[in-house]
Amino acid sequence: MTTQTHGFQTEVQQLLQLMIHSLYSNKDIFLRELISNAADAADKLRFKALEHAELYEGDGDLKVRVRADKDKGTLTISDNGIGMTEAEVVEHLGTIAKSGTKAFFQNLSGDAAKDSQLIGQFGVGFYSAFMVADEVEVHSRAAGQKEAVLWRSRGEGTFETGPSDKQGRGTDIILHLKEEEKGFLDSWKLEQVIHTYSDHIGVPVELYKDAKKEGEEGAFEAINQGTALWMKAKSEVKDEDYISFYQHISHDFGEPLTWSHNKVEGKHEYTSLLYIPKNAPWDLYQRERQHGLKLYVKRVFIMDDAEVFLPQYLRFVKGLVDSADLPLNVSREILQDSKLTQSMKGAISKRVLGMLEKLAKDKPEEYAGFWKNFGTVLKEGPAEDFANREAIAALLRFHSTHHDDTEHLVSLDDYVGRMKEGQDKIYFVVADSFNAARFSPHLEVLRKKGYEVLLLSERIDDWMMSHLTEYQGKQLVSATRGELDLEVSEDEKDAEKALEGLLARVKDSLGEQVTEVRFTHRLSESPACVVTSEHGMSSQMAKLLASVGQSAPTVNYVFELNPEHPVVKALESREGEAFDDSVGLLFDQALLAERGSLEDPTGFVKRLNKLMLGSL
């Protein structure tokens, strides 16, 4: 192995600059991150040694050690875990091997508090070492390998690798501390930080005390409790312990919104510790993003991101599950096909939904914050999780005509509680924006009758509502689809009879642009509107498909005319080109109100100008 100099990946250089200029308000975090990484290395060795016991090399006593050397001004964090090869050192310490890296840096705002949250979520805690160190050395020997590797950098754009004389398996990280950070060499300070951040870690974290008194090996003293937090009784765990453990597994520097610690006994036996974060991770909508719970079997770490225990719409949940029933050599493939894991997934999903239900009931303001961050993801639920559709629906929040602003949101329970006597349906409208929904002509008769209407305007909404058809026995009905089942008065029937021949003439004029022309009484102020058939493709669904690169079929509109409107009545007396221009103008207006744009805006302008010229 020869000594080589490498350049950091561009994103790493950006990250280092943020670190070195004290992005984190609490520098103690660097020690938490390095100890956490060391504990993970021990967990990974324990898992690999299940099938390859020789990797222990006669040393199965896994631990993390912290040693300060005041004479040299160094702080060393060591583990006897899995270790790294030269290639792994270059990959893990020289690049950020994550999809969406560019998007991550585009999310940085320059606000230190917000950016520290993003960097924590990105899971790059090793680089926090440069907050307190002028130079960082890493000596590592991978389990089962003979040669050790050295990685060294001053965090200034390059790093070098070469041979190391390290003998034991595992990794030593040596921090050459900045002069102003030498306080981290004091034993009392290190002990305080380890107690604060690492009490819950399942391997011993030992601090170097005094070799003169006890000899080199006996100079280390275990500082943390070294007991798996989730295996303790809930009564033995303080809130600060739960918060600290959340920060350890999530790399989030903030506190979680809520958590649930639960032990299941009976047919299946497992323990779960689940957290709802306060803030959405920057890559929540990255398709390649890994998610899931940490999986342990009888306290032995098996894998990160075991996605099989959570449905996609709950991918924001952090935590772990420790099973007493799964085999220690369980693989992702076995998990996918296991009836046990599917049963656990169902139970864990119900528990998370219960946590959210309790939060919404007991702390509505905090739930409002959750909805702002994660509501769009939760909207995926009705399509994905049929068994829990009613529970998910109760957690959804909507704008509605009950509040004429963007601040207030209502639940389906709120809506049902306000339904007028005799009303048996829940009405909603989907549009491209809140204002487009609020001013949609489709709402006119519903407003007139005093019915509340839910106003939906996110891209996912039309797709979501196609899977959410009923709530508490009440049918959910789109105001823009099919025919509204509203009572028609005798006067309205007379208005239709007076214009009996008009529908066929309008259909002939528009030809294949529409599938049907009919009278409607959903309008009170507008002369016309377009709707889609009960099961047809809507404008919003077509746009959603286009946004993800999929081709969508042509939207087939039904053109509806208000027979009581003066403009529609006036059409009866028009003939020839004047009739066609008027009908075309009405149709374009209806399209514009429905989807916010026209395929032929020039034709619309020409017809409008001709009409204006005639009136002038």
Residue 91 CA, chain-centre distance (Å), reads 27
pLDDT, tens only, 207-255: 998 655 566 666 888 887 767 889 889 999 999 989 988 988 887 878 9
pLDDT, tens only, 349-407: 999 999 999 999 999 999 999 999 999 999 999 999 999 999 999 999 999 999 878 88
Element spanning 255, H or E = none
**What is the widest separation between alpha-carbon atoms in the chain?**
110
Element spanning 274, H or E = strand 270-276
pLDDT, tens only, 174-201: 999 999 999 999 999 999 888 877 777 7
User: Which has more pLDDT, 290 or 219?
Assistant: 219
CA distance 77 to 75: 7
Q: Which of 27-41, 338-352, 488-502, 557-571 has the highest mean pLDDT?
A: 338-352
Residue the block writes with tokens 């639960």: 262
Structure confidence at residue 55 (pLDDT): 94
- Measure Cα distances from 13 to 20, 130, 154, 245, 350 in Å: 10, 12, 11, 29, 43
Structure tokens at 357: 């239900």
User: Which has more pLDDT, 499 or 97?
Assistant: 499
Residue the block writes with tokens 């529609």: 568
pLDDT, tens only, 559-583: 989 988 999 998 888 898 889 989 9
Q: Please provide the DSSP assignment of 108-121 as one string.
A: --S-HHHHHHHHHH
pTM over 0.75: no
Structure tokens at 409: 């949101």
Mean pLDDT (whole number) for 106-115: 58
Q: Which of 372-381, 479-488, 605-614 has the highest mean pLDDT?
A: 372-381
Structure confidence at residue 108 (pLDDT): 60
Structure confidence at residue 95 (pLDDT): 67
Where in 62-219 does DSSP place strands (E)? 64-69, 74-79, 133-141, 148-153, 158-164, 170-177, 205-208
Q: What are the beta bridge partners of residue 349?
A: none
**pLDDT exceeds 90 at position 166:** yes
CA distance 104 to 14: 11
Structure confidence at residue 158 (pLDDT): 85
Structure confidence at residue 597 (pLDDT): 73
Task: Give the percent of the chain with pLDDT over 70.
Answer: 86
Q: What are the beta bridge partners of residue 6?
A: 159
pLDDT, tens only, 512-554: 899 889 888 888 888 998 888 766 666 666 666 666 566 666 7
First to last CA, the chain: 89
Element spanning 559, H or E = strand 557-561
Beta strands 74-79 and 220-222: pairing type?
Answer: unpaired
Q: Outline where 313-459 has alpha helix (H).
A: 332-337, 339-362, 364-378, 381-384, 389-395, 412-418, 434-438, 444-448
Write down all domains in the chain, each with its CATH number in brackets: 4-226 (3.30.565.10), 231-362 (3.30.230.80), 398-479 (3.40.50.11260), 490-615 (1.20.120.790)
Question: Which amino acid, 518?
Answer: R
Identify which of 374, 311, 297, 318 has the alpha carbon closest to the alpha carbon of residue 342.
311
φ and ψ of 240, to 5 deg: -65, -30
- Secondary structure class of 234 (helix, strand, coil): helix
User: Which has more pLDDT, 370 or 442?
Assistant: 370
Q: Are 568 and 520 in contact (CB under 8 A)?
A: no
Q: Is 251 left (phi over 0), alpha (psi -120 to 50) or beta?
A: left
